[in-house]
Amino acid sequence: MVNKVKRRVSCFPKATYYKPREIPLCCLEITNLSIEEIEAIRLCDLLKIEQSEAADRMGISRKTFWSDLQKARQKIADALVNGKAIEICGGEYVNTGECKIEFLCKECDHMWEAKDNQPRPTSCPNCGSNLIFRIGGDGKGMRFIENNYCCPKKNENNTDTGEVSKKK
């Protein structure tokens, strides 16, 4: 068995879930897209970088990059055509730390940036509150939301903390 090479990832997505409109997440099948698969899509399809250069940036061969890219495109097409949610998480990667993440304090409305390679802050640098949220979500149920979500099938709603329950 060959060891899988960890891909170098320079930027994480701002959102970790995508789903069809007006259908609760608890009612959908979820397709998982790994962090390295979304990085392959970002480099090739969004930034329009040649596959050989994109493979070099990720520290993998062109063949491996092509395979990751095709798997990602297949999963995205399946989710779009068949009305599935897309969850972006997991994988075998090394963070290069080039991307920044925005946070918001719910107590004082202070916004600040932190690098991806830093640990998640535990308190607001302005007021010291621990009611902080990653803008766009961090895939851990800690996201700033304007309208609370409630699954009609489960009737789960944690409005007092701003946390959203998610089903796997």
Domain-terminating residue out of 82, 98, 114:
98
pLDDT digits (tens, 9 = 90+) for 64-104: 999 999 999 999 999 999 999 999 988 888 887 777 778 88
pLDDT of residue 13: 81
Q: Per-residue pLDDT for 158 more than 80?
A: no
Residue 51 lies in a domain: yes
Looking at the structure, tell me whether residues 114 and 93 fall in a common domain: no
Q: Is residue 113 part of a domain?
A: yes
- Confidence label for 117 from pLDDT (cuts 50, 70 and 90): low
The CA distances from residue 10 to 5, 26, 36, 72, 127, in Å, are 16, 31, 10, 17, 31
In a domain, 2, yes or no: no
Q: What is the mean pLDDT of the chain?
A: 80
Shared domain for 29 and 90, answered yes or no, is yes
Stretch among 29-38, 92-101, 148-157 having the lowest mean pLDDT: 148-157
Percent of the chain with pLDDT over 70: 76
Rounded Cα distance, 5 and 128, in Å: 40
One-letter amino acid at 43 equals L
**Does residue 1 carry a pLDDT above 70?**
no
pLDDT at 165: 41
55, 85: one domain:
yes
Same domain assignment for residues 32 and 55: yes
- Going across the sheet that includes 85-88, the strands are 17-18, 85-88, 30-33
Residues 122 and 148 in one domain: yes
- Whether 19 and 47 map to the same domain: the answer is yes
Q: Which domain holds residue 114?
A: 99-168
pLDDT at 112: 87
pLDDT band at 134 (very low <50, low <70, confident <90, very high): confident
21 with 46, same domain: the answer is yes
Of the ranges 8-22, 42-56, 104-118, the best mean pLDDT one: 42-56
Domains: count for the chain: 2
Whether residues 123 and 46 fall in one domain: no
Q: Are residues 93 and 106 in the same domain?
A: no
